[in-house]
């Protein structure tokens, strides 16, 4: 009987953990990444970004998260693996939602809550920073460790922090920017072609207007105003000539 009930509980924990893993994979953040280990769903590895505007800014820190068999009814344990100057390494951290304060944990919370919680604890000073697993390093040392942390490689994941959580602006799309003006000129010369092209790409599926197509009427109206000005100058010149001819005659 006991075996069946513990197996059921374990099964519900596995279901819940799988659900959280899917949710994290479908809605990723540029501030952290986390996934269960391939060999043990109860052990997660996670990389978090040091909070902006703190001595941990630019740093990337790797965490080991252990989920109990009774999860989510008992809280996860968190351990920081990357040298950081804020948390002791490989030590269960004492924060409100970890197993040091089990009574505060709520089953509705999840791995994401725990990650956001520890990220928030990085810059805290004074009483909030004191506890098991906490260390006080000078600011310069924390900054030095933050710079080193990016290339730190997890022996379990066998990848560096920066490989696991690349910087948001490091995407290859940013290199395409110089090409944008030439694309815009093409659409000005043939706005109808641009429309046809976008329709082909979208395959008849209604979508948001292509920015190039929106830009085209604006460029046409800017071409229109010099034409109007030319016509006005022509009329004025014609009037002036007419008056001059009248005087001569
Ligand atoms: Zn790892």
User: Around ion ligand 1, which residues have CB less than 5 A away?
Assistant: 45, 154, 156-157
- Determine the distance separating the centroid of ligand 1 and the alpha carbon of 7, expressed in angstroms: 28
- Domain 4-167+186-248 superfamily per CATH: Ubiquitin Conjugating Enzyme (3.10.110.10)
36 Cα to the center of ligand 1, angstroms: 10
Check residue 6 and give its pLDDT. Answer: 52
What confidence score (pLDDT) does residue 234 get? 78
Record the pTM: 0.64
133 Rama sector, left if φ>0, alpha if ψ -120 to 50, beta otherwise: left
What percentage of the chain has pLDDT greater than the value 90?
46
The separation between CA 96 and the C-alpha centre of its own chain, rounded to angstroms, equals 26
CA nearest 17: which of 66, 58, 64, 50?
66
What is the distance of C-alpha 64 from the center of its chain? Answer: 21
**pLDDT value, residue 226:** 60
Mean pLDDT of 35-45: 96
Q: Which of 46, 94, 154, 157 is catalytic?
A: 94
* Mean pLDDT on 111-135: 78
Output the CA 51–ligand 1 centroid distance in Å. 20
| 157 noted as active-site residue | no
Ligand 1 center–CA 80 separation, angstroms: 10
CA distances from 86 to 129, 162, 207 (A): 9, 20, 48
Q: Which of 38-52, 87-101, 123-137 has the highest mean pLDDT?
A: 38-52
* Alpha carbon of 44 to ligand 1 centroid (Å): 8
- Give per-residue pLDDT as tens, 177-220: 444 444 443 444 344 444 444 434 444 444 444 433 333 334 33
- The average confidence (pLDDT) of the chain is 76
- Lowest model confidence (mean pLDDT) among 40-49, 56-65, 223-232: 223-232
pLDDT of amino acid 186 = 42
Q: Which residue has the higher pLDDT, 40 or 125?
A: 40
């Amino acid at each position: 009987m006991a075996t069946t009930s513990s197996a059921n509980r374990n099964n519900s924990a596995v279901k819940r953990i799988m659900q959280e893993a899917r949710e994290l994979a479908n809605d990723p953040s540029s501030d952290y990444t986390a996934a269960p280990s391939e060999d043990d769903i109860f052990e997660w590895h996670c990389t978090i970004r040091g909070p902006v505007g703190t001595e941990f800014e630019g740093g990337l820190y790797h965490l080991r998260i252990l989920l109990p068999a009774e999860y989510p009814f008992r809280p996860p344990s968190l351990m920081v693996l990357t040298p950081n100057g804020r948390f002791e390494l490989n030590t269960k951290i004492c924060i409100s939602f970890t197993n040091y304060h089990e009574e505060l944990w709520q089953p509705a919370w999840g791995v994401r809550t725990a990650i956001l919680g520890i990220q928030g604890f990085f810059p805290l000073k004074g009483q909030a920073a004191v506890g098991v697993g906490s260390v006080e390093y000078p600011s310069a040392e924390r900054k030095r460790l933050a710079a080193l942390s990016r290339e730190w490689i997890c022996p379990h994941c066998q990848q560096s922090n920066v490989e696991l959580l690349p910087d948001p602006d490091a995407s290859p799309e940013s290199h395409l920017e110089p090409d944008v003006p030439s694309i815009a000129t093409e659409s000005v010369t043939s706005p109808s072609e641009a429309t046809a092209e976008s329709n082909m790409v979208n395959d008849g599926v209604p979508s948001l207007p292509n920015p190039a197509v929106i830009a085209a009427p604006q460029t046409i109206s800017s071409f229109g105003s010099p034409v109007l000005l030319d016509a006005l100058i022509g009329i004025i010149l014609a009037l002036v000539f007419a008056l001059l001819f009248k005087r001569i005659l």
